[in-house]
Structure 1
Amino acid sequence: MPLHVSPAPAPALRSVLAALGSPAVREAHTPALRSVQGPLSPELPLPVHVLDVRDPAVPPAAGGAPRTRLAGWRFLIRSGDRPVAGADTMLTADGWAFSHFFEGPYLASTERALRQADAMATRHQARLLSVPDLYMLTLWLHGDPEADPATGAPAPADVLIPLAPAPPGIAPHLPYRVADLLPMLTLRLVPPLLESLDSLESTA
């Protein structure tokens, strides 16, 4: 199988398992999760990295790589043969902890993107890359399957598959090389940042 899904940190998995066995399931804002019958299992853990906005006034990371940070681990919660919800974990002062359950279009979109990636000829490591400023989430296919999934930045040859819904003008489920997609994202991110800087200068 070309696609490599790294195991999540054991405390992150344990926190989700504990949440699935607690009243949090019935209290979650996820109707599908509350109504499901039968056992639930967390599967396909993916590290969620966040793309930081590139400030032209701040020097880029080594080698000009985009700045990213690990924000958490995400699991698909499966009932039988279908995902019914997702579960996010976050890093706290005491280690990995359960954050919340959720549902929505990213569940089916993530599964579809994973199937796309698994059909590719090249072996990759599966991650998620979030671009909060654009309300965008992508499946990040890292070129080194054996790399530490918690570290590293997108390399130019890595592949990004935007999940649906994607921002206007960016086709969901179309694989892009980082070198091709990142400039498109930078153009959308930098103008608002420059406008904010101009506004601050004008009021100084």
Structure 2
Amino acid sequence: MPLHVPPAPAPALRTVLTALGSPTAVREARTPSLRAADGPVTPELPLPVHVLDPVTAEGVTATRLAGWRFLIHSGGRTVAAAETRLTPDGWTFSHFFEGPYLASTELALRQAEALPTAYQPRLLSVPSLYMLTLWLHGDPAADAAAGHPGPADLLVPLAPAPPGIPAHRPHQVAELLPVLTHRATPVPMLGSPA
């Protein structure tokens, strides 16, 4: 079933296009593949990046939109990614990068395309576990900037995933989210030894 990739906010896309058009921004990026790209580069597959905030004292988790990530293509392949973030003044370009999450994201998106249900792809970052998942939101028409992982959603850990959590295996939210929140919850100190 096809994925329903949400459109990125026009100002976020403009900031990426401006950065790609800036020789200084591209030259100073720590992305050899982007600097070596031969021919035109284009931002594609915009994905909203949500962050799983720390668990509250009541055990409640929350997510918030942190930015939009674009895969940068050149010559039919992904050479880098560009990330934007929302500031009080609006959308701004954050940085270019490359690394294992690019190939992992592409693999997870290809796997998701083969699923029998339509989803809206998003990214869910779990900073306390140094983890990134492809969040397949069950409502393809939903506002990509809002929401919390729901019962109809799938989470696909991207490689490299934390030990004990298999990468590229779709998990129901009810299966994986409790594991993530448990691992991300700090262990209370029992007191100092006497």
Residue 2 of structure 2 corresponds to which residue in structure 1? 2
Question: Aligned partners of 1:147, 1:27: CA distance in 2, in Å?
Answer: 36
The Cα offsets for residues 105-146 of structure 1, whole Å up to 9 and x where unpaired, read as 100110000001111000010100000000000000000000
The answer to whether the aligner puts 1:26 opposite 2:9 as a matched pair is no
Residue 40 of structure 1 corresponds to which residue in structure 2? 41
| Paired residue type of 2:41 | L
Which residue, 100, 107, 110 being the options, matches 2:105? 110
Q: CA deviation at 1:82?
A: 0.6
Q: CA deviation at 1:59?
A: 6.3
Question: Aligned partners of 2:184, 2:159: CA distance in 1, in Å?
Answer: 19
Question: Aligned partners of 1:31, 1:103: CA distance in 2, in Å?
Answer: 8
| Paired residue type of 1:30 | T
Which residue, 188, 194, 200 being the options, matches 2:187? 194
Q: If each structure's helix is expressed as a fraction of its own residues, which one has the higher value?
A: 1
Q: CA deviation at 1:187?
A: 2.1
- 1:123, 1:143 within 8 Å by CA — same for their partners in 2? yes
The Cα offsets for residues 148-173 of structure 1, whole Å up to 9 and x where unpaired, read as 00000000231011100000001000
Runs of 4+ in 1 over 4 A off after TM superposition: none
The answer to whether the aligner puts 1:173 opposite 2:168 as a matched pair is yes
Unaligned 5+ segments in structure 2 are: none
**Deviation larger for 7-16 or 179-188:** 179-188
Question: Aligned partners of 1:19, 1:76: CA distance in 2, in Å?
Answer: 14
| Paired residue type of 1:156 | P
Unaligned 5+ segments in structure 1 are: 61-65
Report the 3-state secondary structure (helix = DSSP H, G, I; strand = E; otherwise coil) of the residue aligned with 1:117. helix
Residue 13 of structure 1 corresponds to which residue in structure 2? 13
- 1:75, 1:86 within 8 Å by CA — same for their partners in 2? yes
Question: Aligned partners of 1:51, 1:43: CA distance in 2, in Å?
Answer: 24
Question: Aligned partners of 1:186, 1:151: CA distance in 2, in Å?
Answer: 20
**For residues 73-92 of structure 1, what are the structure 2 equivalents within 5 Å?**
73-92=68-87
The two structures, once aligned, show a CA RMSD in angstroms of 1.4
Report the 3-state secondary structure (helix = DSSP H, G, I; strand = E; otherwise coil) of the residue aligned with 1:188. helix
The answer to whether the aligner puts 1:141 opposite 2:136 as a matched pair is yes
TM-score, normalization by structure 2: 0.94
Q: CA deviation at 1:94?
A: 1.3
- 1:128, 1:140 within 8 Å by CA — same for their partners in 2? yes
Report the 3-state secondary structure (helix = DSSP H, G, I; strand = E; otherwise coil) of the residue aligned with 1:4. coil
Aligned length: 191
- 1:157, 1:179 within 8 Å by CA — same for their partners in 2? no
Report the 3-state secondary structure (helix = DSSP H, G, I; strand = E; otherwise coil) of the residue aligned with 2:26. helix
